[in-house]
Amino acid sequence: MTITIIVATDQHNGIGANNQLLWHLPADLKFFKQTTTGHTIIMGRKTYDSIGKPLPNRQSMVITKQPNLKIEGVQVFNAMADALAACDVEKEVFIIGGAEIYKLALPLANKIYLTKVEGIFNADVFFPEILTSEWKETEHTFYPKDEKNAFDFTLITLVRI
């Protein structure tokens, strides 16, 4: 199974504040949608609450410690291992955050789609350190800011060495 993390961070690995994203970047959201559509996405309960609904055309899985949480249109699990065990081994599964779930998934992941946003934001949750000894960059595309996207960002693909 390919376990792929998809995340957007600032220059200090910040990913969110007050259970929201730190920026609105339609070009990055488009990449997220294109990349994850048709696949299973695994997220923490807080990220699910932040989004507020299952994302269309994807199988949503939510991880929680709550024993009886039920969410319509979503598969709920009490452990990352249980969610992964319910995924099709032939397919790529996407870990979409947030910080607690990225921490659980980083040691298991084979690939990372990292959007590195220029700037330092007032984050209260962070992506764990990516050790350069464990990951190799295979793609790198710069997106300059424009009238719809207020910040420069770079889309980076990392694969486990």
Ligand X SMILES: NC(=O)c1ccc[n+]([C@@H]2O[C@H](COP(=O)([O-])OP(=O)(O)OC[C@H]3O[C@@H](n4cnc5c(N)ncnc54)[C@H](OP(=O)(O)O)[C@@H]3O)[C@@H](O)[C@H]2O)c1
Beta bridge partners of 89: none
Phi, psi for 153 (deg, rounded to 5): -150, 165
Give SS3 for 80.
Answer: helix
118 is an interface residue for ligand X by CB under 6 A: no
10 is an interface residue for ligand X by CB under 6 A: no
CB-CB contact of 125 with 38 (8 Å): no
- Of residues 59 and 90, the one with the C-beta less far from ligand X: 59
Taking CB under 6 A as the rule, which mask of x and - marks residues 65-84 in contact with ligand X?
A: xx-----------xx-----
Amino acid at site 4:
T
> In whole angstroms, how close is the CB of 146 to ligand X at the nearest point?
20
Gap between the Cα atoms of 113 and 140, Å rounded? 10
Stretch that binds ligand X, among 18-26, 83-91, 132-140, 153-161 (CB under 6 A): 18-26
What value, to the nearest 5°, has the Cα angle with vertex 129 and ends 128 and 133?
140
> In whole angstroms, how close is the CB of 51 to ligand X at the nearest point?
8
DSSP 67: T
95 is an interface residue for ligand X by CB under 6 A: no
Measured between alpha carbons, how far apart are the two ends of the chain, in Å?
16
> In whole angstroms, how close is the CB of 159 to ligand X at the nearest point?
19
> In whole angstroms, how close is the CB of 131 to ligand X at the nearest point?
19
39 is an interface residue for ligand X by CB under 6 A: no
Q: Which residues bind ligand X (CB under 6 A)?
A: 7-8, 15-16, 19-21, 43-47, 50, 63-66, 78-79, 96-101, 104, 125
